[in-house]
Amino acid sequence: MNDISEILRALLDQFARTSEVEREFANMMNNDAQLKEDYYLWCEDMGYDSKTGYQDFIDEQMQDRDEFWEAMNE
Render pLDDT for 42-68 as a digit per residue (tens, 0 to 9): 999 999 999 999 999 999 988 887 676
Residue 73 is predicted with a pLDDT of 75
State how far the Cα of 25 lies from the Cα of 34, in Å rounded to an integer: 13
In contact, 53 and 42? CB cutoff 8 Å: yes
pTM of the model: 0.81
Render pLDDT for 4-43 as a digit per residue (tens, 0 to 9): 999 999 999 999 788 999 999 999 999 999 999 999 999 9
